[in-house]
Amino acid sequence: MTRWRWRWLSIGCGMPATIGKSEDQVHAPRQSHRFIIMVALAAWGWCLVDACAWSQRVGELVVVVETVDAKIKKDVVGRVAAGTIQKLTAIEGTWCSIEGTRGWISKSAVKSLRDGYQHYSGRINKDRADFEAWATRGMIQFEFGQLDAAFVDLNEAIKANSRVAAIWHNRGIVLHAMSRYTMAVDDFTEAVRLNSSYTRAYHSRGLAYYSMGELDKAILDYTRAIRLDDKEPWFFINRGSAYHAAGKLLEATQDYMAARKLNVKLAEPLIGLANVLLDQGQLDRALAAAEEAVALNPRHAAALNVRGWVLFKQYQLTNALRDFDAAIQQASDFSLAHNNRGVALTELKRWDEALVSLSRSIELSPQTAATYVNRAHAYLAAGRNSEAWADLQRAAELDQQLVEGIISRAWFLATTADDALYNPQRAADVWSQLPESFTLDWSGWDVQGAVLAAQGKFSEAVAAAERALSAAPTHRQAAIEQRLELYRKGHPFRFSLE
């Protein structure tokens, strides 16, 4: 018998970056909603058990190599399929328990991933048509981070038996991890063609559509998964994230609340709610949600990051930096936390440190346009104008529609002290690229004022700056007042940063 299983992998989560060098110069962005993506995995197979020394530890990933009864005392309370890969949660004598399973199973049915790899390799050597061994070894390779090898093994499994939905699903998972989203969608689609009630395949396809930016399709697939299983909180969390990305804040809130009701111990619904509340400008409530998320799991990198971002928005920069540092300590490859740390350091005028953090974020996520914008502002602050402009151009290459990139380029061209780069007309042309539906806030009006002043339209610049001043937070007002005074005197603003 073949069975599928899943284990959640967090690919990217937490509070998104601020986009812009500082809030007195660019529009504070609507927060990105690549807040969390959860990937469902399935692996299975069967075999006889080899006698070996048992040295696994609680918290390690293990593979079940024999379909086995799960028991509580003498009562059978379930079955665990061969090929299941999960964390070991407890050990007691000759018994153990694994994550996601009720009851205890025999230790003899469980191997470390390394031993499991050797075990399934032996099966493959004996029978090249053993598709279950290929499929399980492929997912073990996936857990090792060997994506190309995992893809090869799953290809062999499909060649041996193309009628098993779980294998197509698993190969789609690997393709998704390789950022080959269109191919992943094709594999998930084949999985649901073979099994129209394959809940996880609908969900996984939704994740792939989300990664492609096709939010309507993602929401549709998440909804299909929810109709098949309305007790899984992650389906609601990810649909909430997609609704949030689509600007549907009410629907996002409802989904996060639904997930919260299904599992009050999860931090992720609270992280999602904090994101929504930030978009709504409700900073105190956002902080309360973030604090609750951290209380649930003080070592949760995304929870620490979102709390740090709320604190940053409240201009509690030292406390924000402390949270970003803690998030990175928990997840050293957390690109978003490195980015946000760099933004906070820029605000603290610790520009060299900011550049190190932002460069690390770019190293981890080189296709994220927003981080190039943020690093450009740190370069500006350090007086490195040509490098700043290069980063702004790179951001435009990656995402021409990124609003914060458009605003930042317009600001740079209208205000730089570098005569070789100063270009008021081009600043106006860039500013005109903003979508008509985009609504300016105080920082946007401030940038608009600088662009107008650079063109000599001082009366209009004064009006924009006065509007910015009336809505700006207290700690930004002095800088806007200085620019406003220049415009009233018929002078443009010509510095990269105050």
**pLDDT tens readout for residues 172-225:** 999 999 999 999 999 999 999 999 999 999 999 999 999 999 999 999 999 999
pTM, 2 dp = 0.83
Query: Could you give the count of Cα atoms lying within 13 Å of 125 in the half-sphere of its Cβ?
Result: 6
Q: Report the alpha-carbon distance of residue 344 to residue 305 in Å, rounded.
A: 12
Q: Is the pLDDT of residue 128 over 50?
A: yes
Q: Report the alpha-carbon distance of residue 88 to residue 68 in Å, rounded.
A: 15
Beta-sheet strands, E only, within 107-192: 110-112
Beta-sheet strands, E only, within 93-238: 95-98, 105-106, 110-112
User: For residue 394, is it within any domain?
Assistant: no
Radius of gyration of the chain (CA): 26
pLDDT digits (tens, 9 = 90+) for 286-327: 999 999 999 999 999 999 999 999 999 999 999 999 999 999
∠ CA 349-340-443, nearest 5°, is 70
Q: Report the alpha-carbon distance of residue 438 to residue 105 in Å, rounded.
A: 57
Residue 459: CB atoms within 10 Å: 10
Number of independent structural domains in the chain: 1
Alpha helices in 232-300 (DSSP H): 233-245, 249-262, 268-279, 283-296
Best CA proximity match to 44, nearest among 87, 84, 101: 84
User: β-strands 75-80, 38-39: how paired?
Assistant: unpaired
pLDDT digits (tens, 9 = 90+) for 358-410: 999 999 999 999 999 999 999 999 989 999 999 999 999 999 999 999 999 99
User: For residue 269, is it within any domain?
Assistant: no
- Residue 488: exposed, middle, or buried by beta-carbon count in 10 A (0-12, 13-18, 19+)? middle
Q: Report the alpha-carbon distance of residue 144 to residue 148 in Å, rounded.
A: 11
In this prediction, residue 278 has a pLDDT band, given cuts at 50, 70 and 90, of very high
Task: State residue 24's pLDDT score.
Answer: 29
> Could you give the percent of the chain with pLDDT greater than 90?
85
Q: Are 32 and 326 in contact (CB under 8 A)?
A: no
Please give the order of strands across the beta sheet that includes 61-64.
Answer: 105-106, 95-98, 85-92, 61-64, 110-112
346 φ/ψ sector (left φ>0, alpha ψ -120 to 50, else beta): alpha
Average pLDDT over residues 455-474: 96
User: For residue 192, is it within any domain?
Assistant: no
User: For residue 462, is it within any domain?
Assistant: yes
Task: State residue 11's pLDDT score.
Answer: 24
Average pLDDT over residues 333-338: 96
The per-residue pLDDT of the chain, averaged, comes to: 88
- Residue 12: exposed, middle, or buried by beta-carbon count in 10 A (0-12, 13-18, 19+)? middle
Best CA proximity match to 413, nearest among 399, 401, 398, 396: 396
Average pLDDT over residues 68-93: 92
Average pLDDT over residues 69-95: 92
- Residue 110: exposed, middle, or buried by beta-carbon count in 10 A (0-12, 13-18, 19+)? buried
The token duo for 87 is 């964390």
45 φ/ψ sector (left φ>0, alpha ψ -120 to 50, else beta): left
The residue among 464 and 55 whose pLDDT is bigger is: 464
User: For residue 457, is it within any domain?
Assistant: yes
Task: State residue 54's pLDDT score.
Answer: 57
Q: Is the pLDDT of residue 42 over 70?
A: no
Task: State residue 23's pLDDT score.
Answer: 28
- Quick one: the chain helix, strand, coil %, rounded to 5? 60, 5, 35
Q: Is the pLDDT of residue 284 over 60?
A: yes
Best CA proximity match to 45, nearest among 152, 170, 146, 229: 170
In this prediction, residue 495 has a pLDDT band, given cuts at 50, 70 and 90, of confident
36 φ/ψ sector (left φ>0, alpha ψ -120 to 50, else beta): beta
Q: Report the alpha-carbon distance of residue 274 to residue 253 in Å, rounded.
A: 10
Measured CA to CA in angstroms, residue 246 lies from 12, 252, 254 at distances of: 18, 9, 14
Q: Are 373 and 385 in contact (CB under 8 A)?
A: no
User: For residue 461, is it within any domain?
Assistant: yes
Task: Quote the DSSP letter at residue 20.
Answer: S
Which residue type occupies 475? Answer: H
Average pLDDT over residues 22-35: 30
User: For residue 241, is it within any domain?
Assistant: no
Best CA proximity match to 334, nearest among 9, 12, 10: 12
Measured CA to CA in angstroms, residue 346 lies from 20, 69, 299, 327, 450 at distances of: 11, 57, 26, 18, 21
The residue segments making up the domain with residue 416 are 407-488
In this prediction, residue 111 has a pLDDT band, given cuts at 50, 70 and 90, of very high
Q: Is the pLDDT of residue 125 over 70?
A: yes
